[in-house]
Amino acid sequence: MTQEEIKELKEKALKQFLSGESLTGKDGAFAPMLKEFMEEALEAEMSSHLSDEEKGSKAGNKRNGKGKKTLKSNHGDITINTPQDRNSTFEPEIVEKRQRILADNLEKQIIGMYGLGNSLRDISAHIEEMYDSKISTHVLSDITDRVVPKVKEWQDRPLEPVYCILWLDAMHFKVREEGKVRHKALYNILGINKAGKKEVLGMYISESEGANFWLQVLTHLHNRGLKDILIACTDNLTGFSEAIHSVYPKTDIQLCIVHQIRNSMKYVASKDQKDFMKDLKLVYKADTKDQAESALLDL
């Protein structure tokens, strides 16, 4: 790849990301995770349903193809394939027959489940919470047995060898474990590939954010096939740049725009911040370097 091609890819990828496209809508980065989980859960529910009928007085019912359903979420529409049975007796729980809106808490739980690392027990507990104890233990077990391998497959799936931009950041939150409130850090890696498409590369949970854990995350990404990152956007955590360069020595590191804005606002009086932000957007949303420099001079 020539330097000119790399430059074009960087500009295209950054422009697409800054356009504000949804992460969970039809083409969003989280959409494949939501779609895959719900489809696998529905397939497991159908298998359990047919098995129960076979044991009872309604033997002879079979699968009868698939239908399509579009669910509205807080972040856009998601289309899933729904299994159907010949006798139309299947009543799914995770996405009910006439349901057209995906509950906000369910959406968050599904996304969160993919960041639970290697703990199969945690994933199983998450699935149980999603169903809110509305189904029998053996059906829940069937769903867990079917979904867990898919989650593991997603966590360890091969990556493309080159990504134009990676955003690496951690979210901090409190969870209740064994009756105690604990602090956790959810490590998020969002990337843009050479085609300009956004993708969630991985999510990892740790007790706190630190450069040492980021090094483990980066090593895992490398082992999954990611050999080069053109630009890494970070919050400038102490030791973070060194961790990145120990795995990806040629990567350019840029401080995240959000963090740069926050740092800039420290030096602006409260009464001027609104006008300042309006002019500042013209700088970081510019299409070219020349336009950005011109907007910066005006600012």
Q: Tell me which residue of 147, 95, 141 sits closest to 116, measured CA to CA.
A: 147
**Same domain (yes/no): 269, 173:** no
**Would you say residue 16 has pLDDT above 50?**
no
Main-chain dihedrals φ then ψ at residue 145, nearest 5 degrees: -60, -30
8 Å CB contact between 82 and 42: yes
Question: Does residue 12 belong to any structural domain of this protein?
Answer: no
**Same domain (yes/no): 49, 144:** yes
**Would you say residue 117 has pLDDT above 50?**
yes
Of 155, 186, 221, the residue at which a domain comes to its end is 155
- At 28-76, the pLDDT tens digits run 556 677 788 788 888 888 888 888 777 766 667 888 899 898 887 765 6
Question: Does residue 7 belong to any structural domain of this protein?
Answer: no
8 Å CB contact between 188 and 253: no
Q: Which domain holds residue 206?
A: 158-255
Lowest-pLDDT range of 78-82, 97-101, 132-136, 154-158: 132-136
Question: Does residue 117 belong to any structural domain of this protein?
Answer: yes
pLDDT band at 159 (very low <50, low <70, confident <90, very high): very high
- For residue 180, CA distances in Å to 174, 183, 194, 209 come to 10, 10, 44, 20
pLDDT at 139: 72
Tokens standing for 178? 């064994």
Total domain count, the chain:
3
**Bridge partners for 233 per DSSP:** 167, 254
